[in-house]
Amino acid sequence: MLWPGFYMSSQKDCPEPILETIPKLRITPDGAADGMYNANCAAQLEDLAPGQQLFWFFPKDEIHHVVKGEADITYSLAGTSHTEKKNAHLSAGDWYIVPAGARVTWKVTSTSPLRLLWLTMPGIPQSRYRRSEAVSI
């Protein structure tokens, strides 16, 4: 069984590395969700619906920025063998780092969607499931 976030694609689906130009992604707080994927990095702007609860496992380090909305998260880290669960509250303007091996559950507490911008380096295949498309718990 594959865990959420597993890279569900073959090597031929992997994007090409950046060779000649630096890619640019333009986002706005209220604009459409968008993303970019290449071998060097992956960046995605995703929305989680109000009241949604979602679990995700992180095989790579990621940096997250809360663009808008609020959520409570419960997480455990690989360094503790997932024996300790911790909680945090996220709101617009927060940045946080999710280390590889972490397990995180978000519960969106705002009446508007939780809008997250995330970045991981090196990149991942574009064909992997987006968190917002995953089955909520």
In a domain, 53, yes or no: yes
- How many structural domains does the chain have? 1
- Long-range CB contact pairs, 11-20, < 8 A, 24+: 13/125, 13/126, 13/127, 14/39, 14/125, 15/39, 15/123, 15/125, 15/126
CATH number of 109's domain: 2.60.120.10
Q: Is 91 left (phi over 0), alpha (psi -120 to 50) or beta?
A: beta
In a domain, 133, yes or no: no
Residue-wise pLDDT tens digits, 31-49? 787 887 777 778 888 999 9
The position carrying tokens 């290449």 is: 38
In a domain, 20, yes or no: no
- Expressed as residue numbers, the domain containing 61 is 44-122
Name the pLDDT band for 129 (thresholds 50, 70, 90): low
Q: Which residues pair with 70 in a beta bridge?
A: 91
Question: Full-prediction pTM beyond 0.85?
Answer: no
The position carrying tokens 């709101």 is: 91
In a domain, 102, yes or no: yes
- The confidence score (pLDDT) of residue 62 equals 93
In a domain, 113, yes or no: yes
As a whole number, mean pLDDT of residues 5-9 equals 47
In a domain, 115, yes or no: yes
Q: How far apart are CA 129 and CA 133, in angstroms?
A: 6
Number of H helices, E strands in the chain: 0, 9
Residue-wise pLDDT tens digits, 41-82? 788 889 999 999 999 999 889 999 999 999 999 999 998 999
